[in-house]
Amino acid sequence: MSFRKRGEVLGGPGANRVPTLGTAPGRLPYRRTPGADELGNMTDRMGGLSMREAHGQTDSTAATQAPQIDASHPGVRPSPATSQLTTSTGCQDLDKLLGHMGLPLGQTLLIQEQSATDFSSVLTKLFAAQGAVHNRADGSSAFSKGNTHLVALTLNQSFAKELPGVYQGSKKDVKRSKVSNTESKITVQNTLESATSSQIAPRDLKIAWRYGLNDKSKNVAPSNSDIDLENYPNYAHQFDITSRLVPAPTSAELTLISPTQPLPAVLTQLQSVFQKYPKKIIRIVLPNLLHPVMYPPSYSQLSEVISLLHGIRSIVKQNAERAVLMSTISTDLYSQTGGQVITTVENLFDSVIDLEPFPQEMSQFLSRVYKSQPNKIQHGLVHVLKLPLLSDRGEMHVMRSEYAFKNGKKKFEIEPWGIPIDDTEVQDSKSTPETLAEEHSHTRVSLDF
Amino acid sequence: MTSVQKQDLRLFDDHSVLSQSLFRPENHHALFVTHKLGTSPAWLINALLETHILGAPLTLNESQASAINTANRRLANAVTRSTKNTAIASWVHNSEFFHSALGKLKIDPSRYKVHDYLSDFVLKYHGKTGQKILKNLVQELTAEPKPDFLILEQPELLLHLLNISSDELHLDFINQLTKIIPLIVIVSYTEAYDNPGTDTSERISANMIEQIRFSNGCVFKSIAVLGIRPLKTGRAKDVTGTLTITRGGASLSHLPIEVAENEYLFQTQKDTTKLFYR
């Protein structure tokens, strides 16, 4: 007989006890959870502990789930538009805007930003963080094996530490998940509770079965997003930009390449990443492209810029089945009038999106209109210049001022843009007919009965 | 747009897209295709390739299925087309891009040659002298079997990739090719060219001058200019853009054909493009 504290977690190193307990008839080793989904979650929480491994069997599915760039990759799904394999950008609204529910593999995305704001850096961090989360989706072994690798062309050595963490939900949700976490752990107390609850459960279930109460899945028609969530549970995540991804990606997950090196060195380093990780999706991030702080003065010449981008594009296209690229550039640094840098850079990307933050007057107007709903205040316009694959085959997708974006703690939202109605103006205009009506109130009174 | 009558593409007044008289061995001609942001010329390049390989632009105005049927019939009659050599050289797309586009019509890759100047071009040629590279490229493009129809997609990128002037590019590359190949098509991205800011009229950057010189050179060398651009009014659901066919600077007086100047509206959706008049 062993003496254990009530709250002490059973298992741990001796986890192989779990299935043997489970095989004992009439006895439940762990807390009974209602529904298979919960069970799935529980095995997830147990750190990807495989029941078959515990039995000492060789896990045949593990071989098929090994990092291969096919539909089994957690961060990959077919595009609804072209059925080409696509990966999430980390921002679900941007995924939708691109028309493929993500960025198709082998495609490049440029995010331009006007004026001196830095909204685009949020998108690059989300893009990188999403890659890191995909990499860890398979369990704790992700650090050594993994399915995704990040490459950032930046001088910022702490790029990895700045990536946002996955949004855990509101404070209530966090508390709830903590409670369910502790409940799901195999402690003496929990097993006792589950044993008692299991005795009562069959009776309840019997009634529930008779009235079809337990049959939720058939009754409720799932929405599109639910289907997506079911089919691709780890495809896209929501990030909280005020938190940090813990643990931060290490050199096994992220390769930093310095843009100050000579051009051939940059390209060969990038190529070597593809050779080093032959079965991983490679997410390339070029934050603040051509920013004078990071890029040497020689990059102000078009010949150098085009050579860099042409070389990178060639590497992405050569590895089209497992490479995606996102880059950001400030258009104010290289304006349209100062030469043809922006137009030529745009030309070398498959998809281009332009962020135009609102000028101060517009922001003031919006904050006045949405005084009672500060969550609705947008921060700028989104112009679509090119969409991946679709623009390349000749479709016209230049959409200016059709969408607006707003950046929040837990989401970078892109929504259709419409100028809101200023209530104060409406009231002013309303007040004039009212006053007129008051003036003529004599006649109305006389007619009223 | 079902009520609107579809129009066949014709570039010359003998109702042809690529007239047979252009391919006489003693003649050398060029066509210039310009395109802008939002209207990729992929469909027009495919149409020209199909015309040269199969005799007609099959994917224009036709559904995918009927185009494949016609292509199969024409491919079966292979004798008529076996003497033609078609080549494409691209600085923005790799060979896979063209193979997948033409593969939809089940055109065998042996019927055309793709020179992929996107893959590893920078690693191969960075820091080397432009003239030598251009000479190499001309040799590669005109190697046996010599093509009689060559499409160059965005050769203007060579201005920056090799850091050469537009004159060098014209003299050592375009001119050399036009001397050897009966018909070349230069496809160029002219977003920056047509769109100089209002205050740039006084100070135009050196890069812009080179770009303008290159485009002007192409216009003067070509017999016809095909301009693809989006609608001026912006995006529309039923129209993608306009295709304008105008005469170029080169004369066609030595041939019995003339350029059929015209403006089409076109709509590209998925894999089909439809042409119609305004």
Contacts of A288 (CB under 8 A, 6+ apart): A121, A154, A294, A328, A329, A330
How far out from the chain centre does Cα A340 lie? 33
Contacts of A323 in chain B (CB under 8 A): none
Beta carbons of B169 and A264 less than 8 angstroms apart: no
Averaged confidence pLDDT in chain B? 88
CB nearest B160 (choices: A263, A303, A385)? A303
Per-residue pLDDT of chain A (449 residues; tens, 9 = 90+): 556 566 565 554 433 433 333 333 333 333 333 444 443 444 444 444 333 333 333 333 333 333 346 567 888 999 999 989 999 999 999 999 999 999 999 999 999 999 889 999 999 999 999 999 999 887 655 556 788 999 999 999 999 999 999 998 777 777 887 787 777 766 666 666 665 555 555 555 555 555 655 555 444 555 566 667 777 888 899 999 999 998 889 888 999 999 999 999 999 999 999 999 988 999 999 999 999 999 999 988 889 999 999 999 999 999 999 999 999 999 888 765 556 788 889 999 999 999 999 999 999 999 999 988 888 999 999 999 999 999 988 899 999 999 999 999 889 999 999 988 887 766 666 555 555 444 444 444 455 55
Q: Do A399 and B39 touch (CB under 8 A)?
A: no
CA distance A91 to chain B (A): 24
**Whole-angstrom Cα Rg for chain A:** 28
Q: Are residues A88 and A201 in the same domain?
A: no
Query: Which residue on chain A is closest to B91 by alpha carbon?
Result: A310
Helix, strand or coil for residue B179? helix
A-interface mutation test, from B90, B116, B126, most A Cβ less than 10 A away: B126
- How many C-beta atoms surround the C-beta of residue A226 within 10 A? 11
Q: Which residue of B has its CA nearest to A270?
A: B123
**Number of domains chain A contains:** 2
Contact state of B200 with A311 under an 8 Å Cβ cutoff: no
Residue at A147 is within a domain: yes
- Determine whether the interchain pair B235/A397 forms a contact, defined as Cβ–Cβ distance below 8 Å: yes
Contact A314 B211 (CB under 8 A): no
The span from the CA of B81 to the CA of B6, in Å, is: 27
Same structural domain for residues A259 and A385? yes
- Cα(B154)–Cα(A179) distance, integer angstroms: 61
| Disruptive mutation site among A270, A310, A335, A391 for chain B (greatest number of B CBs within 10 Å) | A310
- The per-residue pLDDT for A171 is 76
Q: In terms of domains, do A382 and A251 share one?
A: yes
Same domain, A197 and A317: no
pLDDT of residue A74: 87
CA distance B162 to chain A (A): 7
> Which residue from A minimizes the CA distance to B163?
A303
pLDDT tens profile B81-129: 556 789 999 999 999 999 998 888 888 888 899 999 999 999 999 989 9
Which residues are CB-neighbours of A366 under 8 A, at least 6 positions away? A358, A377, A378, A420
Which chain A residues touch B208 with a CB distance below 8 Å? 339-340
CB contact under 8 A, B196 and A311: no
Contact B268 A395 (CB under 8 A): yes
Residue B22 has pLDDT above 80, yes or no: yes
Do A194 and A81 fall within a single domain? no
For residue A166, the one-letter residue type is V
User: Helices B42-54 and B64-76, interaxial angle, to 10°?
Assistant: 30
Same-domain pairing of A195 and A286: no
According to DSSP, the residues that pair with A381 across neighbouring strands are A356, A404
Q: How many helices (H) and strands (E) does chain B have?
A: 10, 9
| Nearest CB neighbour to A340, from listed B41, B94, B208 | B208
Look up residue A414 and give its DSSP letter.
E
Helices A171-184 and A36-45, packing angle to 10 deg? 80
What would the two tokens of residue B75 be?
């491919």
Distance from B15 to chain A by nearest Cα, in Å? Answer: 25
CA–CA min distance B255, chain A (Å): 33
Distance from CA of A134 to the nearest CA of B (A): 28
Kindly report the nearest CA distance between residue B253 and chain A, in angstroms. Answer: 34
CB pairs under 8 A between A and B: 125
Question: Is A329 domain-assigned?
Answer: yes
Q: Give how far A303 is from chain B: nearest CA, Å.
A: 4
Chain B residue with CA closest to A307: the answer is B161
Range of the domain at A150: 77-167+237-418
Lowest mean pLDDT across A63-77, A265-279, B40-54, B179-193: A63-77
Instruction: Say whether B118 and A310 touch across the interface (CB within 8 A).
Output: yes
Contact residues on chain B for A391, CB-CB shorter than 8 A? 38, 40
Q: Which residue has the higher pLDDT, B151 or A173?
A: B151
Taking the alpha carbons of B259, B262, B263, B269 in that order, is the dihedral positive or negative? negative
Cα angle B70-B71-B75, degrees, rounded to a multiple of 5: 120
- How close does chain A come to B46, measured CA to CA in Å? 10
Which residues in A have their CB inside 8 Å of a CB on B? Answer: 263-264, 267-268, 302-303, 305-308, 310-311, 313-314, 317-318, 320, 335-340, 343-344, 346-348, 385-386, 391-400
CB A304 within 8 A of CB A87: no
A398 vs B38, B91, B163: nearest CB:
B38
Nearest chain A Cα distance for residue B50, angstroms: 16
- Nearest CA to A110 among A397, A401, A351? A351
Are A199 and A341 found together in one domain?
no
Nearest to B121 among A305, A314, A339 (CB): A314
Is pLDDT of B266 > 90?
yes
Domain B6-74+82-277 has CATH 3.40.50.300: yes
Cα dihedral A24, A30, A34, A39 sign: negative
Tell me how far apart the alpha carbons of residues B24 and A260 are, in angstroms, rounded to a whole number: 53
CATH number at residue A396: 3.40.50.300
Work out whether the CA dihedral A201, A204, A208, A213 comes out positive or negative. negative
Chain B residues within 8 A of A272 when measuring between CB atoms: none
Interchain proximity A343–B39, CB inside 8 Å = no
Asked if the structure places residue A438 within a domain, the reply is: no
User: Residue A255: what residue type?
Assistant: T
Say what the pLDDT of residue A430 is.
57
DSSP string, A314-326: HHHHHTTTSEEEE
Between A303, A343, A396, which is nearest B191 by CB? A343
Closest CA–CA distance from residue B256 to any residue of chain A (Å): 33
Phi/psi region, residue A12 (left: phi>0; alpha: psi -120 to 50; beta: rest), is: left
Same domain, A351 and A206: no
Quote the CA–CA distance of B150 and B128 in Å, as a whole number.
Answer: 25
CA neighbours closer than 13 Å in the CB half-sphere of residue A348: 27
Burial B174-193 (b: 16+ CB within 10 A, else e): bebbbeebbbbbbbbbbbbb
pTM of this structure: 0.81
pLDDT computed for residue B194 by the predictor: 60
- Preferred mutation among A319, A393, A397, A402 to probe B, highest tally of B CBs within 10 A: A393
**Whether residue A201 sits in one domain with residue A144:** no
In a 3-state reduction of DSSP, which class is residue B209? helix
- How many Cα atoms sit within 13 Å of A104 on the Cβ side? 23
Mutate to test the interface with A, among B46, B59, B94, B123 (most CBs of A within 10 A): B123
Residues of A in contact with B268 (CB under 8 A): 393-396
Residues A260 and A377 both lie in one domain = yes
CB burial class (10 A; 0-12, 13-18, 19+) of residue A410? middle
Q: From CA B101, how far away is CA B85, in angstroms rounded?
A: 18
Closest chain B residue by Cα to residue A266:
B123
- Give domain limits for chain B: 6-74+82-277
Nearest to B230 among A263, A302, A398 (CB): A398
